[in-house]
Copies of this chain bind each other. A is one copy, B any other.
Amino acid sequence: MAKKIRKLKIKSNRKYGNVGDSPGMIHIDENAMKPVLRLYSYNQQEVQQSDGSNFESVLQQLDVCTNHTHWLRVNGLGDQNLLEQIGTHFGVNRLVLEDIVNTHQRPKFDDYDNYFFVTSRLITYHEDELSNCQVSFFVKDNLIISFQEDYSNTFEMIVKRLIGGKGLIRTAGPAYLCYAMMDTIFDLYFSLLNNLGDMLDDIEDRLYENPDKSIMYDSQKVKRTMIMLRRAIWPERDKVNEMIREDIPLINKDVKVFLRDAYDHCIQIIDMIESYQEITSSIIDVYLSIVSNRMNEIMKVLTLISVIFMPITFIVGVFGMNFARQDPVTNKVLPENMPELYSPHGYTYCLIAMFVITIAQILFFWKKGWFNRL
């Protein structure tokens, strides 16, 4: 009868290294996907790309394309060897490698001497499944490496813009590309928030038309998603702010203008989350009040019916007593015992009395306002 309530599945990595491990230790999760590499080498004139998991081909292309900017996409983190090769070749600190692999980092920005490292959270919600992945960027003077946990094609549009070549994307350096990818993630947040907003609208419509208990569960799902989003976006804001404030050569003034725009987006996301949280609370409050009211209505009506039948049931009980008019054994007449039963119009009077009592009760309760809705 009632539709089955499904629990919100949360796909989030909680595994950590062992207690007491050395810092900089790389633990590959057993469920981690095999890495797929793609290298895009671009300058104002052209874009070259190579796919596959072969690191040699990547190195070859790097050798060939000398006056290009390179974007190395790494999808999947399940090969310790390959990651360490990348680390060694591009000079990535072991602590950074650890942060790339332990995919439960808060969004953060770490500035090293000749490169910087940025992590973001990628939160997606699809059919009652909430997933929280990590995307990280390693940015050097003419190189950006992006690391993603799975093969999802999040940055498809960026690739298109790169190949299309419009705007600043081919000329503004790797930090701009990093910004562009971060902004894409924010766009995904906006789109997720729009979905949540639609869900809230839908929940609210049901609330006013046909409230049932799915409202409680659906609100809780929205709430849970919101908790995760808020936990991701607050450090994201700090991160972007830090990128704007820090004075490092890799992030030039032009990129900072765009980062300021991204910062505004962060604030807008925070704003929307907080509004939605308040709306969710308000929906839950109204729902609880509706349930309680409706239940009260039902109980009141049912109890009123019981009470109206109480006295008349008592009366029929009275005239169902067997006090005898005549002792069957001695045949003695007992005139005081229930003379009403032997009155010619006793039954009629009795029915009239019960009718009057019923009407009187209804009038009394009606006057007290107990038939009104609360």
**Cβ distance A273 to chain B, nearest Cβ, rounded Å:** 11
B289 touches A104 (CB 8 A): no
Binds B, one of A17-25, A26-34, A40-48, A80-88: A17-25
Binds B, one of A62-70, A71-79, A155-163, A244-252: A155-163
Q: How large is the interface on A (under 10, 10 to 19, 20 to 34, 35 or more residues)?
A: 35 or more
A16 touches B187 (CB 8 A): yes
B336 touches A347 (CB 8 A): yes
Binds B, one of A51-59, A135-143, A326-334: A326-334
Q: Which interface residue of A191, A204, A306 has the most chain B CB atoms within 10 A?
A: A306
B291 touches A187 (CB 8 A): no
Contacts of A20 in B (CB 8 A): 155-158, 160-161, 180, 184, 187
**Cβ distance A280 to chain B, nearest Cβ, rounded Å:** 10
B310 touches A303 (CB 8 A): no
Contacts of A191 in B (CB 8 A): 16, 19
B204 touches A7 (CB 8 A): yes
Contacts of A316 in B (CB 8 A): 314, 317-318, 320-321
A-B contact pairs, 30 of them (CB 8 A): A16-B187, A20-B158, A23-B183, A95-B257, A213-B289, A213-B293, A213-B373, A216-B289, A220-B282, A220-B285, A223-B282, A224-B282, A227-B275, A227-B278, A231-B274, A291-B296, A295-B300, A302-B304, A305-B310, A306-B310, A313-B314, A316-B317, A317-B320, A319-B322, A321-B347, A322-B341, A329-B333, A336-B348, A337-B347, A338-B347
